[in-house]
Amino acid sequence: MPLALIEAAHSGLELELSPIEPSWIIEGKPEARSRLLSTSACNTAKTLIWSCTGGKFDWYYDLDETIIILEGSIVLESEGMPSKRYGVGDVIYFRRGARARWHVEGYVRKLAFLRLNNPFPFGIAIRAVNRLKFLIARSSPVMAAAGIIVPE
For residue range 24-63, list pLDDT tens digits in order: 999 999 999 999 998 887 788 899 999 999 999 999 999 9
Do 45 and 57 lie in a common domain?
yes
Is residue 29 included in any domain, yes or no?
Answer: yes
Q: How far is the C-alpha of 136 from the C-alpha of 125, rounded, in Å?
A: 17
| Short-list 44, 71, 40, 76, CA closest to 58 | 76
| pTM for this model (two decimals) | 0.73
68 and 131 in a common domain: no
136 falls within a domain:
yes
Residues 133, 99 share a domain: no
Per-residue pLDDT at 5? 62
Residue 84, domain member (yes or no)? yes
> Same domain, yes or no, for 150 and 134?
yes
CA–CA distances in Å: residue 12 to residues 42, 107, 109: 26, 15, 10
- C-alpha 70/C-alpha 47 separation (Å) is 14
Q: Which domain holds residue 85?
A: 16-115
- What are the angstrom distances between the C-alpha of 144 and each of 54, 75, 134? 57, 54, 14
36 and 66 inside one domain: yes
Expressed in angstroms, the distance from the first to the final Cα of the chain is: 30
What is the number of structural domains in the chain?
A: 2
Tell me how far apart the alpha carbons of residues 5 and 115 are, in angstroms, rounded to a whole number: 19
